[in-house]
Structure 1
Amino acid sequence: MNDRLPAVVEGYLEAVDRADRETAVGLALGLLDTGWSAADVLVDLVAAAQREIGLRWQTGRWSIAQEHAATHVSDLVVSAVASRTPVPTPRGHAVMACVEGEWHALAARIVAETVRAAGWRVTFLGASVPARHLVSYLHQTGPDMVLLSCVQPNRLVRAARMIEACRSAGVPVIAGGPGFGPEGRWATAVGATAWGATARDAARLLDRHRHPGFAAGPVRPAGSDEYVAVLRRRREVVERAVRAVAPPPEHAEELATAVAHLVDALAAAIRVGDPQLLVDFAGWQVELLSTRPGRTGLLDTVLAGCASVLAEHPTARDYVQHARAAVAETTA
């Protein structure tokens, strides 16, 4: 399988680039017929292709419309693979959810279907699940574990709140997704029982931590509550940045959203006690802006505005200085 994999993924990418659902679904089901497992198709084909699709959008090679069309086809492929996969007797019940504000649900669907194929009953709650609704559902259904997906680290404060709610309800959480940092370095800082890099990891971790109540209970508090003050001043930072940049009216909302995400990343960095989270997030924004003509100089202006508004918050000020230095080095 390994020798064929690059060519198979490339053929799949060509199909989704054309939004050719019949070819993409046929390719995936054909692999099942030749002996690939559901996990092989979902992880090594669909998930691998989605990483490349995201990269093509990030580098400006694909438009948002192309990315959306390709992702829709991949979603149909996941459904087709799931419908062809026999499900053994359930070994337990897991709930799969995306962090509130997280609308990238395909990766979570891939995890849900891989775990289901491994013999678990899985309830997939979808994108952007509010913490209060998740904990209410846990009390109603009593699952063994929650699988929580987070793609962007700027949503880690929300992830921490969701994990705290789950553990207070007696249900441990296995975290997944790049939002929890390289090698999941921030997962335990926000209270997760464990972190898995892939859908296969999620299935293995469920077996290891399958007993109800494992590592449940209150999450240890953050080292500093300064992140709360940062979030309270989020609107002020956004308004200051928009005034400083003075974008054309048609781009003002886009800029405001980007600044809000940056403030969220700063708050998340303070919450987990790691300035590298903000540095990495700012670096990602530099890379993204480099594909948009005339936008590369904006980030330092925005960070300077953050530093001005949050001057009386020492940790925030220090973390922003780290980020500005990294941005200056990157763009020099």
Structure 2
Amino acid sequence: MRTRTGAPPRSPDNARLKLLAEQLWSTVSARDEYSATEVVTRALEEGVDAESVLLDVIAVVQGQVGEEWAANRISVAQEHAATAINERAVAALAAHPVARTSPSRGRITVACVDGEWHALPARLLAEVLRLRGWQVDYLGAQVPTPHLISHLHTTRADAVALSSSIATRLPAAHAAITACQAIGVPVLVGGAAFGSDGRYARLLGADAWAPDARSATDRLARGPLPRPQFDHQPMDDLPHLADQEYTMVVRSRDTLVRTVFTALEDAFPAMRAYDDTQRERTAEDLAHIVEFLATALYLGDETVFGSFLTWTARILVARGVPAQSLPPALALLARELKDFPRAVRILELGTEALITTDHITAAGNHV
């Protein structure tokens, strides 16, 4: 249901939306995709506007899926199944006659940056834009920048909306932003990767940032984003990259993980009792640590690394895994990177962030 001006319709009361979210969660948690789509389509037929169903029901349930995974109350497989059902619910909504609109505005390309697999936020934005009258090209998850640029050359999009949920994708996001602007297409970005206040959107030179799909659509409705006057290179945005620390850490990632993993057994004796699955997950955690260290080096911002570490500690504690292994791993990594002062400083600050929280103490109960 749309107004003649394309403005967002009036939302139903919060109690109604909360009830719908509870109903959808019940079907999603039971992995019943048919009942999930029935909840959505019935809501449309009973007069709940499509945008509210997307953002105040489906998106809320997807957030709950993430919270349940983080708390170790559902498995990775269950999280994937729940996400797939929510995606099916979005598709059912988009195909429903009540939600169909004819384009009355410009053209927007919506895509996830290269390496970003969390596509549902971008899909929600694409559907809200369609509801508001935009012609939308939704490209989905993990779109390589050359393919994105090739698409833009053929479509004459008014803007690109890029989504990224994980901070380690920000270097790829920077490349995509720069490439789009180089051909004269402005870029609006969103997603958790860019910070709750959009700080990394500004750092990486995006033309606009929005904290959520509704805000992004409102921003585009206020007027066109200015066409970028591209006259710089990515290095101009991030002059600290001249020290090559980011490049060297990225290139040596596999070696760093192997070396630290081998030494960690002596530094953290409890690891000797790990089974094969625990050892595999430890190697994965080390790889993530190096990835986030590289991202912090790229951004010149140590807080992204500290936030990742404290989040990782919470996840480990929820799974009964000793987060006490983190400080020894960071110390070993600092030893390997002793000739890289920015990296060592970030690792030291990350260790301090861990020690000043209660996660290490709490983890001791699980050793």
TM more than 0.5: yes
DSSP-derived class of the 2:24 partner: helix
Flag the 1:256–1:100 CA change in 2: closer, same or farther, 3 A: farther
Within 2, Cα distance between the matches of 1:46 and 1:215? Answer: 38
Residue 298 (structure 2) aligned to one of 263, 271, 274: 271
- Among all aligned residue pairs of Structure 1 and Structure 2, give the percentage whose two residues are the same amino acid: 36
Flag the 1:282–1:209 CA change in 2: closer, same or farther, 3 A: farther
- Residues 103 and 128 in structure 1, CA contact (< 8 A), matched pair in contact too: yes
In the TM superposition, what is the alpha-carbon distance from 1:159 to its structure 2 partner? 1.2
In the TM superposition, what is the alpha-carbon distance from 1:301 to its structure 2 partner? 2.6
Partner of 2:88: 76
- Residues 155 and 265 in structure 1, CA contact (< 8 A), matched pair in contact too: no
Question: Which deviates more, 28-37 or 68-77?
Answer: 28-37
- Residues 167 and 173 in structure 1, CA contact (< 8 A), matched pair in contact too: yes
DSSP-derived class of the 2:203 partner: helix
Residue 245 (structure 1) aligned to one of 264, 280, 283: 264
Code of the residue aligned with 1:157 in structure 2: it is P
Residue 119 (structure 1) aligned to one of 91, 110, 133: 133
Within 1, Cα distance between the matches of 2:325 and 2:106? Answer: 50
In the TM superposition, what is the alpha-carbon distance from 1:157 to its structure 2 partner? 1.3
Code of the residue aligned with 2:46 in structure 1: it is T
Counterpart check, 1:291 vs 2:321: no
Partner of 1:223: 239
Question: Which deviates more, 228-237 or 275-284?
Answer: 228-237
Q: How many residues align?
A: 332
Within 2, Cα distance between the matches of 1:29 and 1:94? Answer: 26
In the TM superposition, what is the alpha-carbon distance from 1:184 to its structure 2 partner? 1.6
Code of the residue aligned with 1:221 in structure 2: it is D
Partner of 1:29: 41
Partner of 2:156: 142
Residue 45 (structure 1) aligned to one of 54, 57, 64: 57
Code of the residue aligned with 1:70 in structure 2: it is A
Query: CA offsets, 1:206-233, max 9 Å, x none?
Result: 2345256246554542031132232222
- Residues 231 and 264 in structure 1, CA contact (< 8 A), matched pair in contact too: yes
Code of the residue aligned with 1:242 in structure 2: it is F
Within 2, Cα distance between the matches of 1:312 and 1:103? Answer: 34
DSSP-derived class of the 1:316 partner: helix
Flag the 1:80–1:255 CA change in 2: closer, same or farther, 3 A: same
In the TM superposition, what is the alpha-carbon distance from 1:294 to its structure 2 partner? 3.2
Normalised to the residue count of structure 2, the TM-score between the two structures is: 0.85
Query: CA offsets, 1:232-271, max 9 Å, x none?
Result: 2222221122213356444444333332222222222222
Residue 122 (structure 2) aligned to one of 81, 102, 108: 108
Question: Which deviates more, 294-303 or 304-313?
Answer: 294-303
DSSP-derived class of the 1:97 partner: strand
- Residues 174 and 205 in structure 1, CA contact (< 8 A), matched pair in contact too: no
The gaps in structure 1 that reach 5 residues or longer are: none
Partner of 2:75: 63
Within 2, Cα distance between the matches of 1:115 and 1:222? Answer: 32
Flag the 1:78–1:119 CA change in 2: closer, same or farther, 3 A: same
Flag the 1:260–1:132 CA change in 2: closer, same or farther, 3 A: farther
Code of the residue aligned with 2:92 in structure 1: it is A
Flag the 1:116–1:326 CA change in 2: closer, same or farther, 3 A: same
Code of the residue aligned with 1:176 in structure 2: it is G
Partner of 1:176: 190
In the TM superposition, what is the alpha-carbon distance from 1:42 to its structure 2 partner? 0.6
In the TM superposition, what is the alpha-carbon distance from 1:148 to its structure 2 partner? 0.8
Residue 260 (structure 1) aligned to one of 273, 287, 303: 287
In the TM superposition, what is the alpha-carbon distance from 1:178 to its structure 2 partner? 0.5
Within 2, Cα distance between the matches of 1:168 and 1:305? Answer: 41
- Residues 155 and 264 in structure 1, CA contact (< 8 A), matched pair in contact too: no
Flag the 1:258–1:134 CA change in 2: closer, same or farther, 3 A: farther
Rg (Cα) greater in structure: 2
Counterpart check, 1:130 vs 2:157: no
Partner of 2:30: 18
Residue 343 (structure 2) aligned to one of 316, 320, 327: 316
Which structure's relative contact order is higher, taking Cα pairs within 8 Å and 6+ residues apart?
1
In the TM superposition, what is the alpha-carbon distance from 1:147 to its structure 2 partner? 0.8
Within 1, Cα distance between the matches of 2:332 and 2:136? Answer: 45
Code of the residue aligned with 2:124 in structure 1: it is I
Query: CA offsets, 1:8-60, max 9 Å, x none?
Result: 21221111011112221111122222332221111100111111100100110
Within 1, Cα distance between the matches of 2:158 and 2:230? Answer: 11
DSSP-derived class of the 1:89 partner: coil
